[in-house]
């Protein structure tokens, strides 16, 4: 997947270089949800800190290498992401955000809007994996996608609560 394949909304960020050390440090900080199962379909979310949108293709490639079961899923990486520069107060500038459905139509935008935007989360990439179980779930699948993503972010300290 290339960055051009991602649906994005963008405000210009200042150019920054990407170092291997910076990149590998973030890849060691995965947080994941428990697996949610509904009618044999399974859902699991993971997230990792994200500094630059340009890191996403390499992160996804590494993700699929590290998580072999996810690479065999019907929808291995439904993603949403946001990056921004903190002004030192509670405001952010240079916001970039985007999503990719990975064949699960409408899932990426729900992940972006209902999790990252609603809770004001920045500088993170959320990846949800769905293993299709053979029975259509209708709109309930979106509830599971949002639910596992929220759980992953709670475990990583991005959201409050249990």
Mean pLDDT of all residues in the chain?
Answer: 82
Convert the pLDDT of each residue in 1-59 to its tens digit.
Answer: 544 445 544 433 333 333 333 444 455 678 899 999 999 999 999 999 999 999 999 99
Convert the pLDDT of each residue in 122-150 to its tens digit.
Answer: 999 999 999 999 998 999 999 999 999 99
Residue 10 lies in a domain: no
CATH classification of the domain holding 38 = 3.30.230.30
What residues make up the domain containing 59?
21-155
Separation of alpha carbons 10 and 97, rounded Å? 6
Residue 12 lies in a domain: no
HSE (side-chain half, CA atoms, 13 Å) at 7: 15
Residue 95 lies in a domain: yes
Among residues 118, 108, 103, 116, the alpha carbon closest in space to that of 152 is found at 116
Number of domains the chain is built from: 1
Residue 5 lies in a domain: no
Residue 124 lies in a domain: yes
Separation of alpha carbons 91 and 84, rounded Å? 10
Residue 3 lies in a domain: no
Residue 14 lies in a domain: no
């Amino acid at each position: 997947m290339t960055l051009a394949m991602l649906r994005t909304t963008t405000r210009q960020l200042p150019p920054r270089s990407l170092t291997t050390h910076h990149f590998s440090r973030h890849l060691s900080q995965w947080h994941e949800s428990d697996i949610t199962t509904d009618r044999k379909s399974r859902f699991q979310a993971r997230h990792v800190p994200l500094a630059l949108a340009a890191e996403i293709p390499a992160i996804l490639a590494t993700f699929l290498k590290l998580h072999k079961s996810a690479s065999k899923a019907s929808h291995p990486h439904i993603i949403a992401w946001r990056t921004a520069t903190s002004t030192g107060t509670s405001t952010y500038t240079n916001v970039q955000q985007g999503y990719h459905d990975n064949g699960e139509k409408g899932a990426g935008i729900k992940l972006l809007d209902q999790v990252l935007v609603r809770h004001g989360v920045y500088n993170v990439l959320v990846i949800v994996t769905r293993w299709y179980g053979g029975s259509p779930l209708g709109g309930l699948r979106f509830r599971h996608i949002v639910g596992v993503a929220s759980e992953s972010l709670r475990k990583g300290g991005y959201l409050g609560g249990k």
